[in-house]
Amino acid sequence: MASSNLYTRVRAAEIVSELRANEKKSRSAVFRKSTLKKIVANMTLGNNEMAGLSSEVLAITLDLANDTEAKRLGYLFFSTYYPQSPHECVNLLPMLENDFQSQSAVVRSLSIRTLATIQIPEFLAKASELVCEAMADKDPHVRKSGVYAVSRIYGRAPEEVREQFLTALNHLLHDPTVFVVAAAVDCLRDLVENYDGLQLSIDRNNCFRIVELLAGCDEWSQVSLLNSVMAFVPQTEADAISLAEKCIPLLQHGNSSVVLNALKVIVYLSNYVRNFVDVLPAITKRVSGCISNLMSKPAEIQFLTMRNVILLLLDKAEMLDLQVSMFFCQFDDPVYIKDTKLELIFLLANESNISLVLRELEEYALEIDDQMVRKSIRAIGNLAIKIPSVADRSIEVLCGLLASSLPHIVQEVAIILKDILRKYPGKYLYLIDSLVQNVDLLTDSDSRGSFIWILGEYCSSIPDSADILQKLYANFDTEPTQVQLTTLTAVVKAYLCLPSKKTENLVLDVLRKTTEEANEPDVRERAYFYWRLLSSHKDIKDIVKPVLPIIEVSSDKLPPEILEELELNIGSLASIYLRPVQQVFRLSKPRRLPVSPALTRTESRASSAPFSDPVSRNTSATSVYK
Amino acid sequence: MITAFFVYNGKGEVLISRLFRDGVRRNVCEVFRIQVISKCSDIKSPVLTLGSTSFLHIRHGALWIVAVTRSNVDASVVLEYLHRFVDLLKRLFELDNVTEDDVKANFPLVYEVLDESIESGHVSNMDLSTLRPYLSAPVAETGRFKNHTASGLLAKAGTIRRKSAGKLPQIINAPLDAAAAPHPWRPQAPKYKKNSVQIDVIEDFNLLTTANGFVLRSFVEGRILMDCRLSGVPTCLFGLVHENQGDAYEELKSSDCTFHQCVSLKDFDEHRIIKFVPPDGKFELLSYRTDVENPPFSVFTTREAYSGDSESSYTVDLESAYPSTVAATNVVLRIPVPPGTSKLRANTEIGKCRLVEEENVVQWSIKKMNGGQKHRLQFAVPNSAADAVAAKPPISLSFSIDSYSVGGHKVQFFKVHEPTMNYATVKSVTYLSRAKSYEVRM
């Protein structure tokens, strides 16, 4: 029977009747197995009628006890539907116990795994008993399964049993088989993260022993062991340096997870060494090399890498030496890749590569994709603000783009021009002229608001500014609040700088409209302020139109404690979002750099939030790593 | 770690669903379907977080492979696992592309793979050679094999099961102490009558240039694939050199390559030696990335659109820069034209040129092109109003060159050392260079 046919929904009653009908046939074992497959397929499809078939499944599983494939399917069924059929599960228990004594390690592992998954009281009792036995089994795979089973039943186990588990896990940290050690580390970290009162620490000898084991084990164990190094607090610089040196070769691994975790450990250790880059000069080349290797991986991994590169550039830029051309967008990159690459291009731009960067950004600005165009124009403008020496060239590029008279380009230039004018007051006024010519293209509210602000601020430099204001003012009623506020201020500024009949009429009109007709309280209030100011007949120009402070680049620079925490979490989900971990995941425990005599930069960070308050050790104070 | 794992087909139906830890319920699969699959044209990121639950996904053809997690997990592990899972399925089923039907036909096997590789949400074991002993479910016949050769047919014949009288296969006992050894990827010590190693150097060439020929990026991503059929537990030494400008051989720069887990990274770091105990069968030994000074092809385009004329004419020059003894096959140049173009007048001395209307490209295919040659294509397409605002995709080129390495790499030596059994090994090396992303902006 072809398996793809099994994925059709059937009614539970049909299956029951089929089974009955075929009971007498000689080939019933094969038939029953395929029925079991059909049931599991339906279960996958979400057909919850299957839950009612638990007694039939129990019968089949007990019957086909010698077939591992059928056994797995049966266990899978019960792992899913145990809440609906506790009685049958209890009847399954003797078979599971039997399996646990089986000759085959595969079956033993399977049984301990299933015992831990099904969460019924009888199972829990049995499981607690057998898990400790499993962890002492002669076969390493069964030991490993036992270890992972602990993480599933720890939560519901009573206190004494928990103690037993912890002792057994600690014992397995010295197991001769590496992947069992790795499993034990994984499980312990899991428990520390999810339950209170526990803490993982590792002393120097064990840490160095673990690091020696790194060379000879499989890649996933390497990931676990690297994470265990994160629990070590180097007390001297020499320790930190020798550990980092051992991790450096792992940057060449083919598995991106090993590479990112090795990078995480190296960055963590670098906090404990003064002038890390001077002590290990090869580190820059190795880190940059490994990042360029990671960029050859599939898109999702590239994305994760790039977000972490942004993180490193914010804080540990001395460790990186990247070519900007590595992050130029390709035509068929997915949207999230293009966005992140654009951000990286912006962060990596400096005076030496600016011509290359500007040329590339100009190319993006002429693409067809609206969003991409806007973002690249914003980047060009921000570059002008970030690097004063290249401002002229950036503005030239913007001028060229304006000449194309495409609506979204003009709008975006209007928005960014506002920031440029604030950074370089008095310069680049010729751009305003081009904007004035294209004023009809400014249809979206951000660009209109921006342009109106420019008009108000530079009304004396722009010819016919009053006329233009009047034209834009015609739409006042339909504009959003932000634009209305801006218009109000701009009109008052215009009147004060260029008092004339025209501007006076404008002012009177706008004040009347906003005080009498406007619904927004903000708009009304502001209008009243201005009215009173104007009626006072004093020299109010400085109040309305002061000298504005020069702006800095609007960077989302994260505060140092957040950076510190994110660096401890390189490669994790929080590093993708680049937000404080608890903002995204409420239940996470905060992490800080542990203090030690070797820690550099103690003043600025470690004082802000305490790490692992000693007070929390009052319940089962187990230092789980000896 | 991974709380749940789902595989969906293109329409959003669940093909495989497995929960590993507490914290989510089965119907969380609906959430993903509604939030992501139904909006599949608007995907902003491979990771979606709602509350404390995150969905990480990759796509393989029409399939969606999704992992659900509940806390701030190590995303690198999860994403790498998802990709490896797909690779594993490809190798198990021996197909290049796993489709919905393949998954459905083999779902017990897929569940077994999940069972053995993820325990309690933690990834533990993905290597096929160590995993295979634990998988008792057979691979279903798909009826399609990679090549209809004699070996393919023989393989098919071998899988025809004898009609047993309702009896089922026994439990397989795995060789269990193997993974305690220092090379867990080679659990058994097989014996071969004829010991052979097949080394394939495959290079994918990437190029990005601007419209006036300025090269922005030019590099190869190379992979060394091996098929080792060696008896016992051999230790192998591999040497690869890189020929640069002045004909001098230079060792592979250390920071540009990544290795399979079997390579001793310590030895590479200290002595620049690639030393490893190979797994049995096919695997990728290392991958590297090198910049290339002279791309194998140069493409120059000029476009003349005379106003008042009803047509614009293009001239495309293709020049090959590799040695004349080497030949490239299946050279295909795709030049984008404005959308809605329907007529083409082309003129070329070599190859075939045709218009592919659905993709708005003019495709010039040359079956075989030797090095040091220069060819020209001239064609004209009618002007259309859509021209000015059309997206301008770049020109793309694809080619395949046998026995030549664009990056200039050469296998220098490959030594096999098996202490107990002394045998001679048959070694063969092939080189292949292909274009991966070859974009010349217009």
**What is the structure's pLDDT at A538?**
72
- Those residues whose C-beta lies under 8 Å from the C-beta of residue A137, and which sit 6 or more positions away, are A105, A108, A143, A146
User: Using the beta-carbon criterion (under 8 Å), do B174 and A106 form an inter-chain contact?
Assistant: yes
Using CB atoms, which residue from A299, A368, A569 is nearest to B391? A368
Please tell me which of the candidates B101, B173, B185 has its beta carbon nearest to residue A104: B173
Which chain B residue's Cα is nearest to A359? B210
Q: Do B264 and B411 reside in the same domain of the chain?
A: yes
Q: Please report the pLDDT score of residue B149 as a whole number.
A: 41
Q: Are residues B206 and B71 in the same domain?
A: no
Return the pLDDT at B180. 39
* Of residues B323, B410, B432, B318, the one with CA closest to residue B365: B318
Query: Chain A partners of B210 at a C-beta cutoff of 8 Å?
Result: 359, 363
Task: Note whether A557 and A578 are within 8 A (CB).
Answer: no
Residue A606 pLDDT > 70, yes or no? Answer: no
Question: How many domains would you assign to chain B?
Answer: 3
Answer yes or no: do B382 and B413 share one domain.
Answer: no
Contact A252 B137 (CB under 8 A): no
The CA distance from A368 to the nearest CA of chain B, in Å, is 5
Which range (A321-325, B10-14, B178-182) has the least confidence?
Answer: B178-182
In terms of domains, do B306 and B287 share one?
no
Question: A189 φ, ψ to 5°?
Answer: -65, -40
Chain B residue numbers touching A571 (CB-CB < 8 A) = 74-77
Domain that holds residue B366: 297-402
Distances (CA, A) of A429 to A402, A420, A436, A463, A542: 14, 10, 11, 12, 22
The answer to whether position B189 is within a domain reads no
**Among candidates B200, B86, B280, B84, which has minimal Cα distance to A219?**
B84
B253 and B309 share one domain: no
* B85 within domain boundaries: yes
Bridge partners of B427?
Answer: B197
Please say if the pLDDT value at position A623 is more than 60.
no
In whole angstroms, give the CA distance from residue B401 to residue B320: 12
* Inter-chain touch A66–B170, beta carbons under 8 Å: yes
DSSP classification of residue A545: S
Mean pLDDT of the A269-288 span: 85
Look at residue B145 in the predicted model and tell me its pLDDT.
41
Q: Taking CB atoms and an 8 Å limit, are A106 and B134 in contact across chains?
A: yes
pLDDT surpassing 70 at residue B111: yes
Same domain, B32 and B18: yes
pTM: 0.82
Rounded average pLDDT over B68-72: 86
Q: Does A569 touch chain B (CB under 8 A)?
A: yes
| Chain A residues touching residue B268 (CB < 8 angstroms) | 249, 252
Give me the sign of the Cα torsion angle A567, A571, A573, A578.
Answer: positive
Domains of chain A: which residue ranges?
Answer: 201-296+578-609, 426-544
Across the range B244-273, mean pLDDT stands at 71
| B363 and B283 in a common domain | no
Nearest alpha-carbon partner for B260 in A13, A222, A547: A222
pLDDT of residue A307: 92
Task: Provide the pLDDT for residue B390.
Answer: 57
Give pLDDT, residue B161.
39
Q: Which of B94, B109, B134 marks a domain boundary?
A: B134
Question: What share of chain A in percent tops pLDDT 70?
Answer: 93
Residues of chain A with C-beta less than 8 angstroms from the C-beta of B392? 366-368
Q: Does any domain span residue B156?
A: no
| A contacts of B50 (beta carbons < 8 Å) | none
Q: How far is A297 from chain B (nearest CA, A)?
A: 10
In chain B, residues with a C-beta closer than 8 Å to the C-beta of A218 are 125, 127, 130, 179, 184-185, 261
**Cβ atoms within 10 Å of A331's Cβ, excluding its own:** 15
My answer on whether B270 and B384 are in the same domain is no
CA distances from A598 to A200, A236, A471, A595 (A): 20, 5, 67, 8
Cross-chain residue pair B261–A255, CB shorter than 8 Å: yes
β pairing state of B327-336 and B395-402: antiparallel
**Is residue B254 a part of any domain in this protein?**
yes
pLDDT score recorded for residue B252? 62
Chain B residues in contact with A574 (beta carbon < 8 A): 72
Q: Is residue B307 part of a domain?
A: yes
Q: Does the pLDDT value for residue A241 go beyond 80?
A: yes
The ipTM estimated for the assembled molecules is: 0.84
Q: Is B392 left (phi over 0), alpha (psi -120 to 50) or beta?
A: beta
Instruction: Indicate the range of A371-375, A555-559, B302-306, B316-320 predicted with least confidence.
Output: A555-559
Flag the least confident range among A4-18, A363-377, A403-417: A4-18
Domain presence at residue B181: no
Residue A377 has pLDDT above 60, yes or no: yes
Name which of B76, B140, B259 is nearest A3 (Cβ-Cβ): B140
Model confidence band, residue A384 (pLDDT cutoffs 50, 70, 90):
confident
Strand A622-623 and strand A198-199: pairing? parallel
Q: Is the dihedral of CA B420, B422, B423, B429 positive or negative?
A: positive
Residue B152 domain flag: no
Picking from B111, B130, B265, the nearest residue to A252 by CB comes out as: B265
Contact B76 A105 (CB under 8 A): no
Which residue in chain B has the smallest CA separation from A590? B72
Residues B102 and B42 occupy one common structural domain: yes
